[in-house]
Amino acid sequence: MAATELADAIARIRADRSVLGAAVTMPHTVAASRLLDGLGPEAQVIKAVNTISHRAGALIGWNTDRPAFSLALEDAGFQAKGRSVLVLGAGGAARASVDALRETAPRIWVSSRDLEEARALCRDLEVSSGGPAPLGSLALLVRKAELIVNATPVGSDGQSVLFPIDWITPGHFIFDLIYQPPVTPLVRGARERGARAINGLTMLLFQGLAAFEIWTGQAPPEAAMRAALERAVVERLKP
């Protein structure tokens, strides 16, 4: 969907009372937050939404990226407390990641092609140690960071990376929020160099569980949803 079509799409959802809600993906998560009738607590802080609920003719925006990010790290057994972090990107997913990490990570650098967006993110989320950084500084920041989060679409083509893989060491933990393909060049390269690396599939699952509850008001069927996600991944990997 083009950015110019976003407002029309949201207006159509608002007009159709049969629609429970919708999911929002990059690059629209920040823009969508400005077009809704209200925001949940985390969306108000992050200024980005990935879930919309339809209630009594009003559209409310929620951010399930933030808790899903934390749960995915926890599921992987990684403790961010006391770790220096490099977040690649400055969109909605990057905002959710930074918000999840800012109370425990002593330093968070945010590097983006759009340095003004990185500055706005750090200002909005009160990142004081670390801060915005141009992509030209990655050679230095990759060495300093212990956790590297890719919150950009770079790698979704199965080929691209934002920095040379040989900069990664076994001491790094890589969290690539991309889930298709399941093994991105960044994840593959990190594992080959002895680093721990995960993709965005577990985060996607936790996002879906939270969205289900928001839309239906019922506890989500976690086992069934996890199994469905695993089946979908297996199907995509078939030749």
**Cα separations in angstroms, 106 against 64, 91, 148, 237:** 24, 21, 14, 39
What is the model's pLDDT at position 2? 63
* Lowest model confidence (mean pLDDT) among 6-15, 97-106, 144-153: 6-15
- Based on the domain organization, do 51 and 168 belong to the same domain? no
- Could you tell me if 90 and 155 lie in one domain? yes
Q: What is the pLDDT of residue 18?
A: 84
In this structure, the answer to whether residues 56 and 85 fall within a common structural domain is: no
Residues 161 and 124 in one domain: yes
> Is residue 198 classed as helix, strand or coil in its secondary structure?
strand
Q: Is residue 224 part of a domain?
A: no
pTM listed for this prediction: 0.90
pLDDT per position as a tens digit, 177-219: 999 899 999 999 999 999 999 999 999 999 999 999 999 999 9
- pLDDT 10s digits, 93-138: 999 999 999 989 999 999 999 999 999 999 999 998 999 999 999 9
Residue 228 maps to a domain: no
Are residues 129 and 141 located together in one domain of the fold? yes
Which CATH number belongs to the domain containing residue 123 in this structure?
A: 3.40.50.720
Same domain, 180 and 114: yes
Task: Summarize the confidence of residues 28-56 as an average pLDDT.
Answer: 90
Mean pLDDT of 44-53: 92
Residue 17 above 70 pLDDT? yes
Is the backbone of residue 66 left (phi > 0), alpha (psi -120 to 50) or beta?
A: alpha
Rounded to whole angstroms, the Cα distance separating 111 from 230 reads 32
Taking the C-alpha atoms of residue 54 and residue 56, their distance in angstroms, rounded to an integer, is: 7
Residues whose CB is less than 8 angstroms from the CB of residue 82 and which lie 6 or more positions away in sequence, other chains included: 104, 105, 106
Q: Which domain CATH number covers 18?
A: 3.40.50.10860
Q: Which domain holds residue 95?
A: 66-201
73 vs 26, higher pLDDT = 73
46 φ, ψ (degrees, to nearest 5): -75, -30
How many Cα atoms are found within 13 Å in the side-chain-facing hemisphere of 208?
15
Please report whether residue 17 resides in a domain.
yes
Which pLDDT value is given to residue 154?
A: 96
Tell me, yes or no, whether 107 and 179 share the same domain.
Answer: yes
Q: Is the pLDDT of residue 228 over 80?
A: yes
Is the pLDDT score of 51 beyond 90? yes
DSSP assignment string, 99-143: HHHTTT-S-EEEE-SSHHHHHHHHHHTT--SEEEE-GGGHHHHHH
**Which residues does residue 132 pair with via DSSP β-bridges, in sequence order?**
110
Give the pLDDT band of residue 238 (cuts 50, 70, 90).
low
Q: Is the pLDDT of residue 16 over 90?
A: no
Task: Please state the domain count of the chain.
Answer: 2
Task: Tell the residue number behind the tokens 């599921």, with chain if given.
Answer: 75
Cα angle 207, 214, 178; round to 5: 15
Percent residues over pLDDT 70 in the chain = 97
Q: Is residue 225 part of a domain?
A: no
What mean pLDDT value characterizes the chain? 92
- What is the average pLDDT across 164-176? 97
